[in-house]
Amino acid sequence: MYRPDHLTLNLSGKLLSLERPIVMGIINVTPDSFYSTSRIAGESELRERIDTLLREGASIADVGAYSSRPGAEDVSSQEEMRRLAPTLQILRDEYPELPVSVDTFRAEVARWAVQEYGVAMINDISGGALDPEMYTTIAELQVPYVLMHMRGTPQTMGGQTDYRDLVLDILDYFIERVGQLTELGVHDVILDPGFGFSKTLEQNYELLARMSDLQTVLPLPLLVGVSRKSMVYRLLGVTPEEALNGTSILHAFALERGAKILRVHDVAPAVEAIRIYEAMHPYELKDGAIHYAHTNKSKL
């Protein structure tokens, strides 16, 4: 069922390698995102944002029109599509080289985005729980699917943080859903542990510390989204606007624990984190000694 060698994504017929970690840059077209600086208003700001993603090295753009911050206002699928349409049209017509993901939990929106605008991936914060048609829709569309862990809805998730064992419960959640997707013929599944969703501040850090355990059982690509989230700014007593340094530190830990995709507001710092991680990658510290991955040498 699971493929540990599955290191490519089929994005509208183009294969994207995950042999090395990549960056997914956020394009936020919601008016009420928790990180106010990320909100985009107007076509000139949008083009500037897309140009920045490309210049700084993003491999995928993730477009969202429904705020998932705790307590966010619900909006209709029609309003979600209305917000998405201008951005998706510009991306399709003017930036065809940049693969696009849409952040939605609605099958109707997913189908519309793929069929009307050639969107290459669907990023579902609910893991299929908020729309029973999502899995069959993804199977019909045959696009990569980001399966995220969350309990409840963005409006209720803050009160659903009671776990027997945090990581084992998340594994059970993923195993059941990956099995359903596989039976339906979905080929490219990416796992998102859901930092900040249905988890306390302390649980977010426990999850990050134990994240590599997920791939012991489910060797599928891991997407990590911690960019400027409350697990950074609440811990440090700062604002989201001041949380970049903490975000970069978390990215380093996530890469060490197997992250293949970093979903970020700030592309350049994430690309730098990957470059630094890769410079360290050939060396492993075991029993107090540095072991060289490509040689038999070791140094005390």
Enumerate the active-site residues: 229, 263
Burial profile 103-127: b = 16 or more Cβ within 10 angstroms, e = fewer: bbbbbbbbbbbbeebebbbbbbbbb
Distance CA 120, CA 60 (A): 9
Could you tell me which of 192, 257, 258 has the C-alpha nearest to residue 227?
Answer: 192
Distance CA 271, CA 268 (A): 5
Contact (Cβ atoms closer than 8 angstroms) between residue 190 and residue 225:
no
How far is CA 19 from its chain centroid?
A: 17
Distance CA 284, CA 129 (A): 40
Angle at 29 between CA 120 and CA 195, to 5 degrees: 75
Contacts of 222 (CB under 8 A, 6+ apart): 190, 191, 192, 193, 211, 214, 215, 258, 259, 260, 261
Amino acid at 233: Y
Amino acid at 259: A
Distance CA 277, CA 262 (A): 13
